[in-house]
Chains A and B, each alone.
Chain A
Amino acid sequence: MASTETETRQSYLVFACGSSWYAVPAECAAEVVSFPELTRVPGAPGHLLGVFAHRGEVIPVVDMGVLVSGESEPTRRAVLVRLSRGTLALTASRVAGVSQVDGRLEPLGANGVHLHLRGPARSAQRDVAVIDPDGLFDHLSQGS
Chain B
Amino acid sequence: MSTGGRIAGMLLCQAGTERVAFAAHEVATIESPSTFGGDAGSARQAYDSGPAGAERILVAATGEAVGVDTLEIDAESLVVFPAPLLLGRIAGGSLRGFVQARGALWPLMSLVDFGRFLAPSSREAA
Contact = CB atoms under 8 A, between A and B. Distances in A.
Interface string B54-97: 00000000000000000000000000011111111111101101
Given A43-B117, A58-B98, A53 B105 contact: yes
Interface string A43-66: 110001001110011111000000
Given A86-B86, A144-B89, A58 B81 contact: yes
Contacts of B115: none
B104 interface: yes
Interface of B: 15, 18-20, 43, 46-47, 81-92, 94-95, 97-98, 100, 104-107, 109, 114, 117
21 contacts: A39-B105, A40-B107, A41-B87, A42-B15, A42-B114, A43-B90, A43-B91, A44-B91, A51-B84, A59-B84, A60-B84, A60-B86, A86-B86, A87-B84, A88-B84, A137-B86, A142-B89, A144-B86, A144-B87, A144-B88, A144-B89
